[in-house]
């Protein structure tokens, strides 16, 4: 695509390989990753600029790692604030339990485990960064009105120009529906949301103040069946509270400092309420749902279009970024002919179970915060204090680890019969000898990480398949990781999930897929090391 056309062209081409509906975090992430592979893509959104109202405030180290892959790691560092973890507190502000998070780079991903930020600021960074990739074009002020698939495998996306009027359309090989909770793409493919009978309406209060509130700098989860709440410091001056609304209440009841003061007073200490400036008060209905299917032929759902989670563990946007990370390299490989079309089946197989596990975790925290009666007391006083030993449903991951569950078995996650293997988990991102982190060296390729040396023939075989080779020196972080997983080598996918691991380096060299999704390396401004 024309490198100059990134600033909202007046017309669109008749055909683009990938059209992305929705320029929220999931859509822009998908566009950036595709553009890194040299795949032309067009992003359509009804708004010209990023959605201005704050929603997400927390990203974990895995998401920070994705942001770094997009090319905005340094900017995110400058605009985010590490947090110290999550505390469940009772109505007397006593700590029931605490899950700690370190502000130091984590062993798992190389970034702080808990990062507070402002979503509109992040979205502005993502959009500005996308402009650096000539293969991606963003078109705002258009309302997508239809997504239809023909027998030929092409998808037509119809849209209205909200400024000039008139309907236009564009054809694509693939369409990614990143169009949020009310996704028109989801409706177009006949999918629907289903899930837990969890539905709560909360008021979200964003406040700016120059005053120091002197609170513990993590997420305070107030457990109170009468009125659960959340408090977090988001930046130097921004603070976020969220409270469950009682029957009959609406956000309109809390539009002044005087109205919110009784709710937020426990966190104010000596600070007078008039030192607070209301940025925004709005109500959200939190749901716990996933779409019944995430794909119909060449149309895929990502982000809130595919799953909705209550924000109690700050993982909604995160799931959309993981979707984009999971799907885009597979699409790049299929589009350039190096991967079979069947790999696209693995997207929903891998991502749906993962998203559902994270939703269950959020709902469990929500149950501790809001649950009444003896069950609520049991969760708060017995279950959560033992949280460090609790496993996420269907996984070997504990909530206290701060590491999300591994991916389920698929054609691209080949697990051995013995439990505890590396397949499906994410490989670490240590600093290597050259001072660069693993992600910076491997870029968007597959990699074989091995503690055994390779023959020239094996090296040539891997190189001809487009894979990087990372030798894990004895005693290094990578060596320790392989040993812990009882493996001598691992095939790591471009999204850093382990495809297969084991003791036979020869077998793993043979199993390495050919993947040449990396094109036009000079275009990949977000990457230093391809
Ligand atoms: C109060 C609250 C707190 C949250 N806290 C966190 C948190 O701490 N951490 C976290 O990870 N997540 C959090 N989330 C969730 C997070 O905000 C969302 O999951 C995330 O914004 C979803 O991103 P998305 O790209 O999938 O969808 P969206 O951000 O909703 O973007 C969808 C885009 O599609 C466009 N669109 C829709 N229909 C059309 C159409 N017909 N034509 C053209 N364009 C269209 C929209 O304009 C929009 O730009 C929170 C959410 C809320 C409400």
Residue from 473, 344, 504, 492 nearest 429 by CA? 492
More confident residue, 253 or 364: 253
Give the separation between CA 403 and CA 411, rounded to whole angstroms: 23
Beta bridge partners of 468: 447
Per-residue pLDDT at 367 exceeds 50:
yes
Ligand 1 pocket, residue 284 CB under 6 Å: yes
C-alpha distances (whole Å) from 83 to each of 215, 297, 338 are: 12, 41, 42
Task: Report the chain's C-alpha Rg in angstroms.
Answer: 23
Q: For residues 226 and 48, give the distance between their C-alpha atoms in angstroms, rounded to a whole number.
A: 41
pLDDT tens for 414-434 read 998 777 799 999 999 999 978
- For the segment 195-248, what is each residue's pLDDT rounded down to a tens digit? 988 889 999 999 999 999 999 999 999 998 889 999 999 999 999 999 999 999
Tokens 């591994």, residue? 406
Residue 133 scores a pLDDT above 60:
yes
Mean confidence (pLDDT) of the chain: 90
Q: What is the pLDDT at residue 518?
A: 56
Q: Does residue 216 line the site of ligand 1, with CB under 6 A?
A: no
* Residue among 193, 155, 160 nearest 17 (CA): 155
- 329, 157, 67, 310 alpha-carbon torsion, rounded to 10°: -110
Name the residue at shortest CA distance from atom 29 of ligand 1: 24
Ligand 1 binding pocket includes 195 (Cβ within 6 Å)? no
**Residue 292: what pLDDT?**
97
Residue 521 has pLDDT above 60, yes or no: no
Ligand 1: which of 31, 44, 46, 188 to mutate, most ligand atoms within 8 Å of CB?
46
Q: What secondary structure, in 3-state letters, does 127-183 show?
A: HHHHCCCCCEEEECCEEEEEEEECCCCCEEEEEEECCCCCEEEEEEEEEEECCCCCC
Q: Is 313 in the pocket of ligand 1 (CB under 6 A)?
A: no
pLDDT at position 508, please?
97
Tell which atom from ligand 1 comes closest to the C-alpha of 181. 30
pLDDT value at 400 more than 90: no
- What pLDDT, on a 0 to 100 scale, did the predictor assign at position 380? 67
Indicate whether residue 22 lines ligand 1 (CB < 6 A): yes
Say if ligand 1 is within 6 A of residue 48 CB: no
Atom index in ligand 1 nearest the CA of residue 202 equals 1
* Substitution candidate for ligand 1 out of 80, 286, 307, 317 with most atoms within 8 A of CB: 317
Minimal-distance CA residue to ligand 1 atom 33? 22
């Amino acid at each position: 695509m024309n490198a100059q056309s990134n600033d909202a062209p007046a017309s669109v081409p008749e055909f683009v390989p990938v059209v992305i509906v929705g320029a929220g975090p999931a859509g822009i992430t998908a566009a950036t990753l595709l553009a890194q592979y040299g795949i032309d893509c067009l992003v359509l959104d009804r708004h010209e600029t990023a959605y201005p109202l704050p929603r997400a405030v927390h990203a974990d180290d895995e998401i920070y790692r994705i942001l770094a892959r997009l090319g905005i790691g340094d900017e995110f560092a400058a605009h985010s604030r590490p947090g110290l973890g999550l505390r469940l507190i009772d109505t007397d502000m006593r700590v029931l339990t605490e899950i700690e998070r370190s502000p130091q780079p984590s062993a798992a991903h190389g970034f702080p485990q808990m990062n507070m930020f402002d979503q509109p600021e992040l979205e502005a960074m993502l959009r500005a960064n996308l402009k650096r990739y000539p293969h991606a074009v963003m078109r705002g002020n258009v309302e997508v009105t239809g997504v239809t698939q023909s027998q030929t495998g092409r998808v037509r996306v119809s849209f209205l120009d909200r400024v000039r009027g008139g309907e236009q359309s564009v054809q694509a090989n693939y369409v990614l529906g990143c169009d949020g909770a009310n996704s028109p793409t989801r409706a177009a493919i006949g999918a629907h949301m289903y899930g837990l009978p969890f539905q709560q309406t909360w008021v979200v209060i964003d406040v700016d103040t120059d005053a120091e509130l002197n609170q513990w700098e993590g997420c305070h989860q107030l457990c109170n069946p009468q009125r659960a709440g959340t408090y977090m410091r988001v930046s130097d001056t921004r603070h976020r509270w969220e409270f469950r609304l009682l029957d009959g209440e609406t956000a309109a009841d809390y539009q002044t400092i005087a109205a919110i003061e009784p709710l937020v007073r426990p966190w104010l200490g000596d600070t007078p309420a008039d030192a607070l400036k209301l940025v925004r008060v709005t109500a959200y209905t939190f749901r716990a749902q996933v779409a019944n299917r995430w794909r119909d032929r060449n149309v895929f759902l990502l982000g809130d279009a595919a799953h909705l989670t209550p924000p109690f563990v700050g993982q909604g946007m995160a799931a959309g970024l993981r979707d984009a990370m999971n799907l885009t390299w597979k699409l790049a490989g299929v589009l350039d002919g190096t991967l079979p079309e069947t790999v696209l089946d693995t997207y929903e197989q891998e991502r749906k179970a993962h998203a559902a596990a994270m939703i269950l975790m959020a709902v469990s925290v929500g149950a501790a915060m809001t649950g009444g009666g003896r069950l609520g007391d049991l969760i708060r006083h017995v279950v959560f204090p033992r949280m460090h030993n609790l496993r996420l449903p269907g996984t070997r991951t504990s909530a206290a680890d701060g590491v999300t569950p591994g991916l389920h078995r698929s054609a691209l996650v080949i697990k051995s019969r013995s439990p505890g293997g590396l397949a499906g988990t994410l490989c670490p991102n240590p600093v290597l000898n050259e001072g660069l982190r693993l992600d910076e060296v491997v870029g968007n390729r597959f990699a074989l990480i091995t503690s055994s040396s390779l023959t020239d023939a094996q090296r040539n075989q891997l190189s001809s398949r487009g894979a990087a080779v990372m030798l894990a020196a004895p005693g290094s972080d990578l060596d320790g990781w392989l040993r812990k997983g009882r493996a001598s080598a691992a095939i790591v996918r471009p999204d850093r999930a382990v495809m297969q691991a084991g003791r036979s380096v020869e077998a793993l060299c043979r199993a390495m897929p050919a993947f040449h999704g990396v094109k036009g390396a000079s275009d990949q401004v977000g990457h230093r090391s391809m």
